[in-house]
Amino acid sequence: MIAYREMTADDIPAGLNLCRLAGWNQLARDWELFLQIHSTGCRVGVDDAGNVVGTVTTLPYENHFAWIGMVLVDPSKRRHGIGTQLLREALQLTADHETIKLDATPDGREVYLKLGFVDEYKINRMRGRTIISGNVLPGARPLVENDFPSLLKLDREVFGANRQSVLECLFNDAPQYAFIVEERRRIYGFCLGRHGHDFDQIGPIIANDANSATQLLSNALHQPVDKPIVLDILTHTPAWNTFVSSLGFKALRPLIRMYRGSNNYPGVPAKQFAILGPEFG
């Protein structure tokens, strides 16, 4: 029998263990952020021996939509309905939101379709490395704290909701990946990044056009980081896809952004060039 209960900070080591078993990249800081933003929004599945064998997280983004992530099940306990029940727990936690969103793998998509989710758009996970040498494209500059009010206004328009707490955490933890593009003191593009167990991830990358996105990514990649870099990119602009591939990034796997409900706050996907990550949106 599996019991389902609220996740606490004491469960973070168990969550990290499930990440490592699944080959996922999250650090303790990621779990802490889930609990910091929504202390009652995460669930764990616990077996008879008291071992955590599954997790799920939820994040409310204003009253616009809620996000489901970190659906993890111990490999030795899979195919027993634990993942499906964790999803049902998450749907109960987010029942007061008209729209629920998540990013699915192709296999996970089949489960989500049965729960009433529909496709929104595709995302490609790409893997490469930083550019230690070579020219950095001009036009971007490092993000500073005073830029945040303007940055948050742009992000809310493009993402579809306010996610200030998450973006501030990214900036504080990995400022070397934070850049903006601006004109006449008006920000019209930015990128952030974060550290991980196996690789660092750059995202979100939000910009008015592909040229600005390439400037942001080029600057963020110009870092002496001896670790692979992952991007979860939207593929709506051929010039952007070509640029990412020209840097040596290779496709790892596809993701599908899905939603359940009305999707009244879709944001502006055409200005989103890379997402923050499947667990955060």
pLDDT digits (tens, 9 = 90+) for 34-71: 999 999 999 999 999 999 999 999 999 999 999 999 99
Instruction: Tell me whether domains 3-97 and 125-274 share a fold.
Output: yes
Q: How far apart are CA 104 and CA 87, in angstroms?
A: 12
Angle between helices 82-93 and 106-114 (to 10 degrees): 60
Domain 3-97, CATH class in plain words: alpha beta
The pairing of strands 200-207 and 229-234 is parallel
pLDDT reported for residue 132: 62
Question: Mean per-residue pLDDT for 254-264?
Answer: 97
pLDDT reported for residue 75: 94
Q: Which residue has the tokens 């930083």?
A: 130
Q: Does 3 have pLDDT greater than 60?
A: yes
Q: Where are the beta strands (DSSP E) in 87-146?
A: 99-104, 118-128, 140-142
How does 194-204 read in b/e, with b if 16+ C-beta sit within 10 Å? bbbeeebbbbb
pLDDT reported for residue 11: 98
pLDDT digits (tens, 9 = 90+) for 88-124: 999 999 999 999 999 999 988 998 999 999 999 999 9
CATH superfamily to which 125-274 belongs:
Gcn5-related N-acetyltransferase (GNAT) (3.40.630.30)
pLDDT reported for residue 201: 97
* Residue extents of the structural domains in the chain: 3-97, 125-274
pLDDT reported for residue 49: 95
Distance, CA of 81 to chain centre: 25
Partners of residue 100 on adjacent β-strands: 66, 260
Q: Does 135 have pLDDT greater than 60?
A: no
pLDDT reported for residue 78: 86
Asked if 58 and 4 count as a contact pair (C-beta separation under 8 A), the reply is no
Q: How many CB atoms lie within 10 A of CB 133?
A: 6
Asked if 37 and 166 count as a contact pair (C-beta separation under 8 A), the reply is yes
Partners of residue 257 on adjacent β-strands: 103, 121
Q: Which residue has the tokens 């010039």?
A: 239
pLDDT reported for residue 226: 83
Work out the percent of the chain whose per-residue pLDDT is above 70.
Answer: 98
Q: Does 27 have pLDDT greater than 60?
A: yes
Asked if 281 and 275 count as a contact pair (C-beta separation under 8 A), the reply is yes
Q: How high is the mean pLDDT of the chain?
A: 95
CA nearest 119: which of 254, 241, 238, 274?
Answer: 254
Report the sign of the C-alpha dihedral through residues 247, 250, 253, 256, in that order: positive
Q: Could you tell me the pLDDT band of residue 22, with boundaries at 50, 70 and 90?
A: very high
Q: Pull the structure tokens for residue 60.
A: 């409310």
Q: How many CB atoms lie within 10 A of CB 81?
A: 12
Asked if 217 and 191 count as a contact pair (C-beta separation under 8 A), the reply is yes
pLDDT reported for residue 133: 56
pLDDT digits (tens, 9 = 90+) for 179-229: 999 988 889 999 999 999 999 999 999 999 999 999 999 999 988 788 999
